[in-house]
Structure 1
Amino acid sequence: MVLPSATVRDLRGRAAGPAWLGFAEGDIVVVSGLPGGGKSTLIKRAVEQGGIDSQDVRERWERMMPDRLPYAVYRPLVRLAHYGGLARALRSGRSVVVHDCGTQAWVRGLLARAARRRGRALHLLLLDASPAEALSGQAARGRGVSAYAFARHRGAVTRLIRAAESGHLPSGCTSATLLDRAAATRLTRITFRP
């Protein structure tokens, strides 16, 4: 099911949603939602060649750092490594699936420009998990964010979802797909085809 241009698909609350979503080769897909809402899980499960996920970069750095060193000390290096990896992936011209916290509109702008330069499209997958589901997800992975950070994420993601529901996509996005936890769980493949 290759999505047509300039469309919003709402797969929330459906008894049976699709098991896969298809996009054109070279397109960029951004997965946004609350921390703990299932973005990393979806990317790991559904993207064959892997995605660009800052959580993976953080975990690699955590394995290299002394246990007693707080994450805040080396967070700037993790972010630098993450954005460096993202830049390399974008320069490659290949299809890219990117984990996005939703609070960094400048990242979506960068991705939209990259898609335009290569003559491809930018698509948004919005995971609409409730705050309770997201907090439960954080507890399950043993890592949470501060109440302040969670409130920032919640506001940003809510604005993205409300805009998509009204047909207003972020600048540069060709399509948006809204997924609740059930629809995200059913989604087992994100594919790219010529």
Structure 2
Amino acid sequence: MKYGIVIFPSKPVQDEINSYRKRYDPHYALIPPHLTLKEAFEVDDAKITELITELKHIANETEPFDLTINKVSTFAPVTNTIYLKIEPLQQLNDLAEKMQQGKFPENQRYSFVPHITIAQKLSHDEYSDVYGSLRMKDIQLEDKIDRFHLVYQLDNDVWTVYESFVFGKEFV
């Protein structure tokens, strides 16, 4: 099965982000706005149990933190993806790094750039127009993050939560 590890912002922040995504992101209906901590990876049922135990340990060692989103940026010229930039945070980098070590599959293709995608798979002309207008917007979003989620992909390509991991919580 295909899994990923993400942070979902709060509902008010998701609503704001979706106001952009619904027009420009073909994945809008497949997954809510999210920050990817670990991109999609394949693993069998036996291995996922081990990873869940590891994720519980990681969540237990992590303190809640504040996320600040204040700029539109892009991955061009590599791809015509437009995203909301998340201010750098050591806790976030540490979290993503822990999910590339130990029992986790090593599948990181790109350096970790904390972001939430709002537009992708655009033609060059469309990209230029959309990025030109979005980068002029004054975006100021803040959110308290206290959990991450293991998600999996259904047969219809929709992603859904397999399990959530709350920060700083002891587990048995």
Name the TM-score, length of structure 1 as normaliser: 0.23
Q: Which of structures 1 and 2 has the larger relative contact order (alpha carbons within 8 angstroms, sep 6+)?
A: 1
Name the TM-score, length of structure 2 as normaliser: 0.25
Give the structure with the higher percent strand. 2
